[in-house]
Chain A
Amino acid sequence: MLNRMWNTVKKEFIQFWRYKTLLIFTLLLPVIQLQGVARSSAVRTMELPMAVYDQDRSASSRSLAEMLDASDLFAADDTVGSLAELERLLENGTVKAGLIIPPDFGSRLSREDLSTAQMLMDASEPGAASRAASYLERAAPLYAQQLSGAGSAGLSFAVTTGVEPRSRVWFNEEMKEELFRLPGAMASGVAMLAIFLTAAVIVKERETGTLEQLFVTPIRPLELIVSKGFLAMAVTYVAFLEMLALCVLHFGVPLRGSLALLLGLTAFYAFVEIGFGLIISVVAQTQGQALLAAFFWSLLERILSGQILPVENMPRAAQVAAQLAPLTHFTAIVRGIMLKGSRLPDLVPELLALAGLGVTLYAVAAGGLNKRLD
């Protein structure tokens, strides 16, 4: 049996090796992917580009604009002379915020009357807009003190307020976005390759009619499937090692947990995810269908896995669906081991979930396969 399987595995590898284009792409694309994720999430600044429409042109209005510019939430990039111009800049996206200072701003402030400045915000980026709005709410009394000259330079919230929250951030002390995104991108890279390669190779043999030819050889269907899965597994694993090396050595993602544990669990996860590829390949009639189903599932799984919005914030039904996606658990495992230094006992819930999903997936795939062969 081992001999037969060995021959099939050899055949698969020779075929894959011969097809250089695919080989190059599977090894090159993860690199491009990680590079892109790392750079685009290396958030330099959350400063909203802001245009100032100063109708007052007094010393106080100027220092208000300067103070906002000096905060790390706004960058006064533009000054405009009319409301229409401000609206145009907001519309075409050049600025994300517009400060309107009314003509009586300075005089009201010196009369100790309530002076109001208006801030227009492009809420088509809701996250940034609401953060800036809550900042303004808190900062208003502080700004008022500084504008009226009562405040000293080093004034902090504590002095004005009395409760001083001191934040301590754990696991990712500098709150670097890329440290969070990269392990996730790595996990979804593994998922995509495992599903695509499995789904495609089996259906391809069926479409070209070589599957029947293989079935008349002494090799058993199950052995054939396992050999095919082995190729997907090996290629995925090589790509994973490549991504891991890049993350740790090049992008500086910490590996706080055990490398051996990560390697072992990745192999286990790839094995589970291959079950999905097997189901797709059993159901699909043509390579096209198989590949599109693989694409559909990869995209859905990636979003369900909590890489865009955390799972606990999803609606109830989506949370349940997320639990059924192996990638959700694997993302938690990779992040846990790399960022938090989780050990095996910490990961038992994820492992159990993966094991349960694996058993189900392979049972379904085997059932479907037997039916097709009859």
Chain B
Amino acid sequence: MRRLLAVMRKEFRHVLRDPYALVGATLGTVLLMALLSYAISADIEQIPISVADGDRSPRSRAYLQRFETDEFFNVKHWAPSAADARRSVESGEARGAVIVPPGFDEAALGGGATPVQIVIDGTDPTIARQIQTNAERLSADVALSLHRTRVSGPARGPSGTPSLAFRTRPLYNPTLKELNTILPGLMAFVLVFPALFSILSLVREKEQGSMEQLMTTPVRRHQLLIGKAVPYLLIGLLDVLLLTAVGVAFFDVPFRGRLVDLVLLSSCFLIASLGISMLLSSLLRSQMAALIVGSLLFIFPITQSGLTVPLFAMPRDARLRALVWPATHYIAVTRGIFLKGLHWQDLIHHGAYLLLLGLILNGATLWRLQKKLA
């Protein structure tokens, strides 16, 4: 125990002596999350589109004006012709174009189907799909009011307005704010800083040869490993508290769970990610290689862990692969605690996986250290 404490004290001194490192590991983390959250805090709206009115009737103008008043769209350009509207999509000036053909008014009054052409820039499918949905929504609105003016009579029943209504209730995030899900998810990525610092510290000792000196002291391997890891674990937990405080105070993200649960499960996550860095530093010889590989490993999961694409929408093999990354589990943990107010019992399977992964990785490191000596 005394030896363990000695290693820890030494590691803490290393951290404290390099003020850049300490500031980087705490304030840097917070700063990074604040910047990232700020940059992506906006919800997708005000999509630039252009419209072309080939009919020039009061009704077609009213239809297009619905796009102008809607928050999702931002009508950048009333194009004089359909070709002009299409060109604005081609040049990237607009993400989509709504083109009303001549004869719109007549067809609408006659009650027939009135085709309206919507041209969508499909480069970003997420936005393309939203443009499509919203254009359909506005068209349906307009059509319904057209229908009402045509059909006068019973206001209810199968022939008139709907007799069925859905009451939708968004749970956990009633305002549907994107940031409320993104911010807790981002914690999984900005929390890699302590892990990266531990890589640097360990490999530096190897590079400078002081690792061999440590090995000749009575300190046992596992004591060395734990003593090296614990200070970074504590820095990580401090980061968790700071990040939570910033998220709640500055970004108004709801925190419905208990802080104890968050700290408990964050420790599991940190043990797993420190396991990755310990193993890497036992495998690689130079700081450069260790950090390049380490940061690639930590940044990779950003697009594959359910942060941007929900897990249920992925094909089966991608979902299984996503479950390998610690970040995937930690995102489920933070979202569960922040938004759903879950307790640790509800998230025990994520915690157990993280802990198990941590034990395996750290065990492998220990085995490497032992073998190297033999």
Contact = CB atoms under 8 A, between A and B. Distances in A.
B126 A177 contact: yes
Chain A CB within 10 A, most for which of B35, B89, B91: B35
A303 B36 contact: yes
B168 A133 contact: yes
Interface stretch (A51-59, A116-124, A263-271, A359-367): A116-124
Contact of A133 (B38, B170, B171, B339): B170
A133 B137 CA distance: 11
Q: Label chain A's interface by main secondary structure.
A: helix
B147 A161 contact: yes
B40 A314 contact: yes
Nearest to A116: B165
B38 A315 contact: yes
Contacts of B170: 121, 123, 126, 129-130, 133
B114 A163 contact: yes
A91 B288 contact: no
A304 B32 CA distance: 12
A39 B124 CA distance: 17
A126 B178 contact: yes
A193 to B, nearest CB: 8
Contacts of A114: 156, 163-165
B48 A161 contact: no
Chain B CB within 10 A, most for which of A46, A126, A135: A126
A234 interface: no
A187 to B, nearest CB: 13
A347 B351 CA distance: 48
A45 B311 CA distance: 11
Interface residues of A, number: 124
B66 to A, nearest CB: 10
Interface string A187-199: 0000010001100
A164 B139 contact: yes
Interface string B52-85: 0000000000010000000000000000000000
B176 A117 contact: no
Chain A CB within 10 A, most for which of B48, B164, B197, B335: B164
Given A165-B136, A170-B89, A144 B162 contact: yes
A212 interface: no
B342 interface: yes
Given A167-B132, A204-B288, A313 B173 contact: no
B112 to A, nearest CB: 7
A295 interface: yes
A48 B170 CA distance: 13
Contact of A172 (B90, B122, B292): B122
Interface in A21-55: 21-22, 25-26, 29, 32-33, 36-37, 39-49
Nearest to A322: B39
Interface of A: 19, 21-22, 25-26, 29, 32-33, 36-37, 39-49, 90-93, 96, 109, 112-138, 140-141, 143-145, 147-148, 150, 157-173, 175-177, 179-181, 185, 192, 196-197, 200-201, 204, 285-289, 291-292, 294-296, 298-300, 302-304, 308-310, 312-315, 317-318, 321-322, 335-336, 339-340, 346
Interface of B: 18, 20-21, 24, 28, 32, 35-36, 38-46, 48, 63, 89-92, 107-108, 111-130, 132-137, 139-140, 142-144, 146-147, 156-159, 161-174, 176-178, 180-181, 189-190, 193, 196-197, 200, 204, 283-289, 291-293, 295-296, 299-300, 302-304, 308-310, 312-315, 317-318, 321-322, 332, 335-336, 339-340, 342, 346
28 contacts: A19-B289, A25-B293, A40-B309, A91-B340, A112-B156, A116-B165, A117-B165, A121-B168, A121-B169, A121-B171, A123-B176, A124-B340, A127-B310, A131-B133, A138-B140, A140-B165, A144-B164, A161-B139, A163-B139, A164-B115, A170-B120, A170-B121, A180-B124, A192-B295, A192-B299, A313-B44, A321-B39, A340-B123
Q: 6 nearest interchain CB pairs? A: A161-B143, A123-B170, A172-B122, A141-B162, A144-B164, A123-B173
Given A47-B312, A109-B163, A126-B43, 20 more contacts: A25-B296, A26-B292, A37-B303, A40-B303, A40-B322, A42-B314, A43-B313, A45-B313, A96-B312, A125-B310, A133-B168, A157-B136, A161-B139, A162-B146, A163-B108, A164-B116, A165-B139, A166-B118, A288-B21, A308-B40
